[in-house]
Structure 1
Amino acid sequence: MTGDNKESNVEISNDISSDNIPPYEPADPLEVIQEASKQSTNTFFEPKREITKIFDVGRWHHSKAYKDFMDQLKRLNHSVKRLPTDCETVTISPNVQRVIDILFKLEDWINQFPPEHMELQRFGNKAFREWHGKLITDIDTLLMDILPESLHPAIIELKAYFLDSFGNSTRIDYGTGHEAAFLVFILCLYKLGYFLKDVDDKAVVVKLFRQYISLTRQLQVIYRMEPAGSKGVHALDDFCFVPFIFGSSQLLDNNLGLVPDSYIREDLPQEYADHDLFFEAIEYINTTKSGPFFEHSNQLWNISAVQTWEKVNSGLFKMYEAEVLKKFPVCQHFLFGSLFSIDKRNDAESPFKFTNAKPPQI
């Protein structure tokens, strides 16, 4: 395939051809209070793996955790519709800022553990293990310092997801499963009432999540982390997925003339990297990969032929479910506790069925 052979009319499968973005209903304030009250009396325990064989994926798909995860993703996606990353009107609550400050602290730790010489290391820099080791040592203190004492019992669950958010220290790799772990960490903070639905959503995406992605990218580059389970040129991105979802929502009805075809132009990603998470992700790819874009990022190249950001956004949701959340190699590492529960949800009746169908194309 060459640059001149790009399909201008990429076929969009029937199930994702609609412009409809996944629906979202604003949170009921009373339900938010009741949820936080219920969680405060929870018996917390160390999260553990529950997906040990491929047939367990159906259990996960019909669990309370799956619904909670998707509901949050839809809500956060909705919160940043048409919202530029550099918008000055986004209010950062003290609690969101405290978590952001932890990420800045973790960024500072990189200076304490500079990368080792790579002559004897083919993949991954072993200094990452020292950085991650300090995180394991300090995690309880980090969380106790920002949480009220009433939430300290929940640290046993919170820290499991936070520790899993920055990659695997044995393999020195990072992938979409680690990214998902950070979203679960955020979900738990909402369930505990530490973050407030609708009130904190915008800041959680364009401030907190963006800073998290920035930190993980630094770790990837400095410690030469391997992509976990990458599909190479057939993957959307070697390391992450969600910035493309949120970023495409930010680009809806933008007044800058940015259409899906715009991000494959060499000059625009750098110019608009601070505008949205999508173009920022493209700029990161452009600075870390060499060669023609259509060769190293073929999926993104094809997606650029989709006509509207609405279709890109709704299609990416379905692709994320198919290629990340329902893939055994990814979800087998998910951890479940009382806040992120593997228990079956009430509306889950029919068993999840596996098919050999190809993932949705957008």
Structure 2
Amino acid sequence: MAEESLKTTTNNEGPKRYIYSMSDMEHFKVSPVKKDLLSFITALGRSTISCSYKFDPLNPLTGLSPGMASLHGSLHAIETTYLKELPPDESLRARFGNPIFKQWHNRLTLRCFNIIKCMMDIHAEYVAPLQESKDWDESILESCADKGAAAATMDVTQEQVENYESLVDMKQLRVIRELRAYFLHSFGHEVRLDYGTGHECSFYVFLYSLCKIGVFGNIPKTSTPSNEILAPVALSITTQYLQVCRGIQTDYFLEPAGSHGVWGLDDYHCIPFYIGACQMQNEHYAGDYTPSSIHNDTLINSSEGDAMIYFQCIRYIKSLKKNVPFFESSPMLDDISRLNQWSKVSGGLLRLFEGEVLNKKPVIQHFLFGDIFQATWEPSRTSEREAPQHAFNNEVTVAPWALNSASRGQAAMPPTKAPWAK
């Protein structure tokens, strides 16, 4: 990941959009920040291949820095408490978008400042004063996770948020505002009631920003994090983030944002498949599992499968699309399972992510840029259109290959193939 000094923008309210037109999109495609983000996500995946770290779902804090342990605690608290306290309104039978998600998102919005502030304070206490990275005692990490959980569950009013902000110096406030914006965009849209790869990507922009300011534990922060630092974030933090997202996707019936996901890899996600395919190349798993192992339901549903992100993703898809042959519900993943090497799977998925996410304007136009994740061009517009103030018309989404001459009078279309799976 290229190292750049942080510049100061003129916007004191936080990061903003820079992509409105195809001209802006072309600037982004060749920008240092796009290259940097892709390099960061590539490094996250590759870190899981050659490191000694082995993810243990029963001990998810192992290997994390204190700041990242705090984030893990916050995500875990969001997963276990928010949905329990704000269950979906079962009286509403819309195919997509339970409006209680707006309350869920509003709660996160109010508590987000404390979540970020807690993480930054813990980083300043434990990591920033050091000159080199270290392995952290489990009791310290558990204490940090508990503090993160407390920050995520503390009742906060808008007035209190404003009071908290007034007590923070401007430099730290700018950082918190930028991180908060990326974090809030990571869990779907509270008006459109949808979630897609753009929201997922915002979470990795959030992680990229944390890495760039040293919260991963990369001491000094200008250094490139080692695989031993990156791998716990790639596996443990990603797994906990997915737990939150799967909860809100299934309980609130969030609409898949965009179209590719419905008949591609997954209705909502892309990056975890890449990280998971890299993980399977580690010596802990190499030789024991092949891409075709996804058809072994006993393995997929076992406690052993809990530790492998790729298998977690397949398990989730199969749990949602029961009583449907896998080759029909997930033709691209079925196609990929015929490859004989995980390296081909991970390489193809990374190219898919760049081509179908980072290079697509409908996804990237909602990106926000600030002092850390920084745009280097002048946007074609300076004012933003208002977001829709109502949910989209929620029709049942049908995969194109499922259409036939008897349905809507359209001809059948072939299933999507993974272009590299030959």
Q: TM-score, normalised by structure 2?
A: 0.69
Does 2:215 match 1:194? Answer: yes
Bigger shift: 192-201 or 177-186?
Answer: 192-201
For 1:8-87, list aligned pairs within 5 A. 38-39=5-6, 42=8, 45=12, 46-81=14-49, 84-86=54-56
* Partner SS state of residue 147, structure 1: helix
Q: Specify the alignment match of 2:343 in structure 1.
A: 310
In the alignment, residue 19 of structure 2 is paired with which amino acid?
Answer: I
**Contact 2:68–2:119 (CA under 8 A) maintained in structure 1:** no
**Contact 2:332–2:418 (CA under 8 A) maintained in structure 1:** no
Aligned partners of 1:47, 1:64: CA distance in 2, in Å?
A: 17
C-alpha distance 334-153 of structure 1, shift in aligned 2 (>3 A): closer
**Contact 2:65–2:215 (CA under 8 A) maintained in structure 1:** no
User: Deviation at 1:153?
Assistant: 3.0
Structure 2: give runs of 5+ residues left out of the alignment.
122-167, 219-224, 378-416
C-alpha distance 152-249 of structure 1, shift in aligned 2 (>3 A): same
In the alignment, residue 288 of structure 2 is paired with which amino acid?
Answer: G
In the alignment, residue 116 of structure 2 is paired with which amino acid?
Answer: L
**Contact 1:144–1:152 (CA under 8 A) maintained in structure 2:** no
Q: Specify the alignment match of 1:94 in structure 2.
A: 66
For 1:330-345, list aligned pairs within 5 A. 330-343=363-376
**Contact 1:50–1:342 (CA under 8 A) maintained in structure 2:** yes
* Among 286, 295, 304, the residue aligned to 2:328: 295
User: Deviation at 1:233?
Assistant: 5.3
Q: Specify the alignment match of 1:321 in structure 2.
A: 354
Aligned partners of 2:196, 2:373: CA distance in 1, in Å?
A: 20
In the alignment, residue 258 of structure 1 is paired with which amino acid?
Answer: Y
For 1:163-312, list aligned pairs within 5 A. 163-195=184-216, 196=218, 197-198=225-226, 200-231=229-260, 234-252=263-281, 254-255=285-286, 257-271=288-302, 272-290=304-322, 291-312=324-345
In the alignment, residue 67 of structure 1 is paired with which amino acid?
Answer: K
Aligned partners of 1:129, 1:302: CA distance in 2, in Å?
A: 37
User: Deviation at 1:360?
Assistant: 4.1
**Contact 2:182–2:203 (CA under 8 A) maintained in structure 1:** yes
Aligned partners of 2:279, 2:418: CA distance in 1, in Å?
A: 25
Larger Rg: 2
Q: Specify the alignment match of 2:98 in structure 1.
A: 125
Aligned partners of 2:67, 2:114: CA distance in 1, in Å?
A: 16
Aligned partners of 2:277, 2:229: CA distance in 1, in Å?
A: 20
Q: TM-score, normalised by structure 1?
A: 0.80
Bigger shift: 73-82 or 328-337?
Answer: 73-82
Aligned partners of 2:339, 2:24: CA distance in 1, in Å?
A: 35
Runs of 4+ in 1 over 4 A off after TM superposition: 41-45, 87-90
Q: Specify the alignment match of 2:147 in structure 1.
A: none
In the alignment, residue 238 of structure 2 is paired with which amino acid?
Answer: F
Aligned partners of 2:91, 2:356: CA distance in 1, in Å?
A: 33
Superposed CA deviations along residues 77-108 of structure 1, whole A, max 9, x for unmatched, are: 11111664328794122111011111122221
Aligned partners of 1:203, 1:302: CA distance in 2, in Å?
A: 29
**Contact 2:198–2:357 (CA under 8 A) maintained in structure 1:** yes
**Contact 1:85–1:277 (CA under 8 A) maintained in structure 2:** no
User: Deviation at 1:361?
Assistant: 3.5
* Partner SS state of residue 188, structure 1: helix
Overall identity of the aligned pairs, in %? 35
Q: CA RMSD in A?
A: 2.4
Superposed CA deviations along residues 125-156 of structure 1, whole A, max 9, x for unmatched, are: 11111010111122222212221367443012
The alignment covers a number of residue pairs equal to 315
